Amino acid sequence: MPRETIDLPCRVEWLSVLDAEGNLDRELEPDIPDADLKKLYRYMLLARMFDERCLLLQRQGRIGTFAPCRGQEATPLGVAYVLEPEDWFVPSYREVPAHLYRGWPLEKILFWWGGSEQGASPPEDVNDLPPCVPIASQCQHATGVAWGCKLRNDNTICACFVGDGGTSQGDFHEAMNFATVYQVPLVMVIQNNHWAISLPRHKQTASQTLAQKALAYGIDGLQVDGNDILAVIVAMRQAAEKARTGGGPSLIEAITYRLAMHTTADDPRKYRSEEEVKPWEAREPLVRFRKYMIDKGLLDDEAEAALRAEIDAEIDAAIERYENTRHDPFDMFKYMYAEPTPDLQRQAEELRIALEQPMPKPQRREKEVV
């Protein structure tokens, strides 16, 4: 009856390909066709410029509360790049770059932040779930989708995003537990952006890394530089391949940083210092990817300027489509059930009368004469 260390067959790795200055580790550089690199760069720039424009639109009252993804573009984009179109993508709510890459038109994103369900219905041929507001609940849906992929046996996989805060939820644990028990083709990506609104990562969990939570589910954990799109692609390719070949789920912790506020409804100066943010500005993904592109001869100032002009026009056109769309209040009754119930039909009629019928003529009571 000795007391000895159990040798667990699980490990946690760290992976980065571009360093903080954008210099390349040639041995780890993934093989990505130039055309794809250009496309990825365009989407990263589009995501950044669109993010900046959304902030302005929010300040002008043209959309509602907005959660910027500034500084976090590399992880969703890298994951979306590796997924096949028929694969499934289950987001949290800060993965706009992935949605754009997978074919969501810009105005859909505006609809979502602009308060219309039209922004929560994915385009017809895109197997994405819409943004999910209750933190980490999407993890369970993703495990279910991946389980369905396994049962359908159609070579599809599912990728899911959750934040560092989300890992504290029971849903994250339950989803990872089910996923590993049933060995479903799921890639769970934790975007560790260091902050859950005002709560710093170190107060979220006593674990040294979030990746090591994988060990509890009997799989390896991988920590990756989430601001390094090349590293994300390397990690995601490995996890996707594993899922697709029956190897089961993976857990990837992508280390990134939320450069902006949680949403436009909060002011991060209340809970974090400028000194903390500054070094992350230098390590942000767009700057590093741009340096890599320039070093590879795939980008120069002229191309960048042309790209920016093109993207600006694209965003302008989308905003116009967004602002010229009408929204029918009667839609609220349409999708509650496959067929509206008699009660809902009556309530829709009640709304129609309230909106369309003139008010009854005032019938003032005669003043009583005493």
Partner 1 sequence: MSVAGIEPRSAMSSPEPTVSQMTMVQALNLALAEAMREDPDILVMGEDVGVDGGVFRVTDGLYQEFGEQRVIDTPLAEAAIVGTAIGLCFRGFRPICEMQFDGFSFPAFHHIEGHVRRFRNRTRGRYTCPLVIRMPYGGGIRAIEHHSEAPEATYAHLAGLKVVIASGPRNARALLREAILSPDPVIFFEPKALYRAFREEVPTQPETMPIGKGVVARSGGDLTIISYGATLRAALEAAEELYDEYGIDAEVLDLLSVAPLDVELINASVRKTGRVLVAHEAPRHCGVGAEVIARIVEESLLYLEAPIRRVTGFDTIIPYFVTEKAYLPDAARIVRAAVETVGF
The residues carrying an active-site annotation are 258, 262, 271
Is residue 322 a contact residue for partner 1 (CB under 8 A)? no
User: Smaller CB distance to partner 1: residue 117 or 276?
Assistant: 117
Choose the binding region for partner 1 from 170-178, 208-216, 260-268, 314-322 (rule: CB under 8 A). 170-178
Is residue 143 a contact residue for partner 1 (CB under 8 A)? yes
Is residue 2 a contact residue for partner 1 (CB under 8 A)? no
The least distance separating partner 1 from the CB of residue 318, rounded to whole angstroms, comes to: 19
Is residue 325 a contact residue for partner 1 (CB under 8 A)? no
Residue 13, classed as helix, strand or coil, is: strand
Closest CA to 189 of 231, 148, 147: 231
Number of H helices and E strands in the chain, helices first, is 14, 8
User: What is the separation of C-alpha 119 from the centre of its chain, rounded to a whole number of angstroms?
Assistant: 14
Is residue 351 a contact residue for partner 1 (CB under 8 A)? no
Choose the binding region for partner 1 from 95-103, 258-266, 313-321, 332-340 (rule: CB under 8 A). 332-340
| Dist. CA 310–CA 324, nearest whole Å | 21
Which residues in the 61-90 window bind partner 1 by CB under 8 A?
A: 88, 90
Is residue 342 a contact residue for partner 1 (CB under 8 A)? yes
> Applying CB under 8 A, which of residues 57, 175, 222, 234 lies at the interface with partner 1?
175
Choose the binding region for partner 1 from 68-76, 149-157, 226-234, 285-293 (rule: CB under 8 A). 149-157
Choose the binding region for partner 1 from 32-40, 59-67, 97-105, 128-136 (rule: CB under 8 A). 128-136
User: Smaller CB distance to partner 1: residue 265 or 336?
Assistant: 336
DSSP line for 89-116: EE--SS-HHHHHHTT--HHHHHHHHTT-
For residues 44 and 252, the answer to whether their CB atoms sit within 8 Å is: no
**For 189, what's the count of Cα atoms within 13 Å in the CB-facing half-sphere?**
35
For residues 337 and 344, the answer to whether their CB atoms sit within 8 Å is: yes
| Dist. CA 241–CA 167, nearest whole Å | 24
> Applying CB under 8 A, which of residues 20, 32, 55, 129 lies at the interface with partner 1?
129
**Number of residues engaging partner 1 in binding (CB under 8 A):** 42
The least distance separating partner 1 from the CB of residue 333, rounded to whole angstroms, comes to: 10
User: Smaller CB distance to partner 1: residue 173 or 291?
Assistant: 173
Which residues in the 244-283 window bind partner 1 by CB under 8 A?
A: none
User: Length of the chain, please?
Assistant: 370
For residues 255 and 225, the answer to whether their CB atoms sit within 8 Å is: yes
> Applying CB under 8 A, which of residues 1, 35, 338, 370 lies at the interface with partner 1?
338
The least distance separating partner 1 from the CB of residue 137, rounded to whole angstroms, comes to: 6
The least distance separating partner 1 from the CB of residue 90, rounded to whole angstroms, comes to: 8
Cα dihedral 193, 195, 200, 201 sign: negative
| Dist. CA 262–CA 197, nearest whole Å | 5
Identify residue 223 by its one-letter amino acid code.
Q
> Applying CB under 8 A, which of residues 170, 200, 246, 279 lies at the interface with partner 1?
170
DSSP line for 302-356: HHHHHHHHHHHHHHHHHHHHHHT----TTHHHHTSSSS--HHHHHHHHHHHHHHH
> Applying CB under 8 A, which of residues 20, 25, 62, 118 lies at the interface with partner 1?
118
User: Smaller CB distance to partner 1: residue 177 or 209?
Assistant: 177
Identify residue 294 by its one-letter amino acid code.
I
Choose the binding region for partner 1 from 33-41, 167-175, 304-312, 361-369 (rule: CB under 8 A). 167-175
| Dist. CA 315–CA 100, nearest whole Å | 12
User: What is the separation of C-alpha 369 from the centre of its chain, rounded to a whole number of angstroms?
Assistant: 70
The least distance separating partner 1 from the CB of residue 15, rounded to whole angstroms, comes to: 28
What residues make contact with partner 1 under the rule CB under 8 A?
Answer: 88, 90, 117-118, 120-122, 129-130, 134, 137, 139-149, 151-152, 158, 170-171, 174-175, 177-178, 181, 331-332, 334-338, 341-343
